[in-house]
Amino acid sequence: MFTTRRGLLVGAAVLTAAGCTRETAHIITSDADLTAALHTARTLAAAAEALGFGDFAEDHLTHAATLERLLRPNVVADETGELPADPAALAEAESSGSREAGDACLTTDSDYAVVLGEIAACRAAHAAVLT
């Protein structure tokens, strides 16, 4: 069929354009660490907003938006856990969230170590200020 070099090249181009070449299939899975961080970010955002710490809520919403973008095309259902009832409980939730993100930062073998570390550091700072 392809008796000349030009014919071979043209044939390859036609086959490629027609989608007849083999491509590696990618199974898109959600990153468990990012998903957990997203759930916690949403819960902390709702809690901080409810308790009047709007600037901290903004930090968490920024984290959530970034995590949602990193997780695409997966969409994580928007569900928040039980909200802390007062600033002391929020501080504890921030500390817990910091440990969660920090542990994920240390164990992840993905490229997301820095973003998880940033989230851990931000939550630690919130907890310290609230305490």
Where does this chain bind another protein (CB under 8 A)? 55-56, 58-60, 62-63, 98, 102, 105-106, 113-114, 117-118, 120-122, 124-126, 128-129
- Contact predicate 47/93, CB 8 Å: yes
Question: What angle do the packed helices 32-50 and 54-71 form, to 10 degrees?
Answer: 160
Please state the closest distance from residue 15 (CB atom) to another protein, in A: 40
Please state the closest distance from residue 53 (CB atom) to another protein, in A: 8
Q: Which of residues 39 and 127 has its CB atom nearest to another protein in the complex?
A: 127
Measure CA 87 to chain center.
Answer: 26
Q: Which of residues 27 and 114 has its CB atom nearest to another protein in the complex?
A: 114
Cis peptide, bond prior to residue 84, ω within 30 of zero: no
Structure-token pair, residue 51: 């308790």
Structure-token pair, residue 96: 């817990």
Q: Kindly report the number of other CB atoms within 10 A of residue 88's CB atom.
A: 11
Q: Which of residues 50 and 128 has its CB atom nearest to another protein in the complex?
A: 128
Please state the closest distance from residue 128 (CB atom) to another protein, in A: 4
- Contact predicate 114/86, CB 8 Å: no
